[in-house]
Amino acid sequence: RWRRTEWTAGGADPAEPGRTVVVHVRDVSDEQELAESLRPAAHQDRLTGLANRRGLRSAGDAADTGALIVLELGGLTAINDVHGPDLAEMVLVEVARRLRTRVEPTDVPARIGDTRFAVLTRGGAIRAHVLASRLITVLTAPYPAGGAEAHVSVWAGLADVTLDAGFDEAMRRAALALRAIRSGPPGAAEWYDEEMEDRLVRRSTLEQDLPGAVTRGQLDLS
């Protein structure tokens, strides 16, 4: 079969009389085949088989428009404490299965954190919001396993994917939208907007300044 090689040449100018050119040929077929076999694994979550953050970014960079849905699961720590880590992992695998079966073939589901999943969808805002609501309903259904039944809570943050913003910015915005509702009741889905970010920034600033103001005795609640 054909072999892949790397070539380097040493010695002086071959046009110069009395000198010899030495050519080194190295077989790199096995190295390149190994690299190609590992490339998909680098973009895939090992537990669920979904795309990981790197794989989702690769798909997002190729997307012109669409929406990003970021889903946060609550209750996995309790499942781990009550039923053990094996059931907690089974729940994560089942979450991935449910995501795969509820999205379109052109959508990209991914696991981007211990308890965080995402879906890159090519549809518009209305379809993305409907999809997010549907996924919340599907993922909050009970998880039966080995005579036990586990439950999780789900929140969803959404943001537009545009050519101007870029995928990383869409991820940041969806995460901010998720943060805005994460402290509220589960089952909510929220779109990012600039006013939301302003409120979060003000709240974060207050949280950072408040302890110092109390220590200095400069707190004014009037």
Q: Tokens 């901010």 label which residue? A: 176
Cβ–Cβ under 8 Å, residues 92 and 195: no
Q: How far is CA 218 from the centre of its chain?
A: 42
In the chain, what is the straight-line distance between the N-terminal and C-terminal CA atoms, in Å? Answer: 82
d(CA 70, CA 178): 7
Q: Give, for all 222 residues of the chain, the pLDDT tens digit.
A: 677 777 777 666 656 666 666 777 777 676 666 556 546 568 889 999 999 999 999 888 887 789 999 999 999 999 999 888 989 999 999 999 999 999 999 999 999 999 999 999 988 889 999 999 999 999 999 998 777 789 999 999 999 988 787 888 999 999 999 988 888 899 999 999 888 777 777 766 666 655 655 555 555 544
Bridge partners for 57 per DSSP:
none
Number of other CB atoms surrounding residue 174 within 10 Å = 25
pTM value is 0.74
Read off the amino acid at residue 51. Answer: A
d(CA 58, CA 37): 17
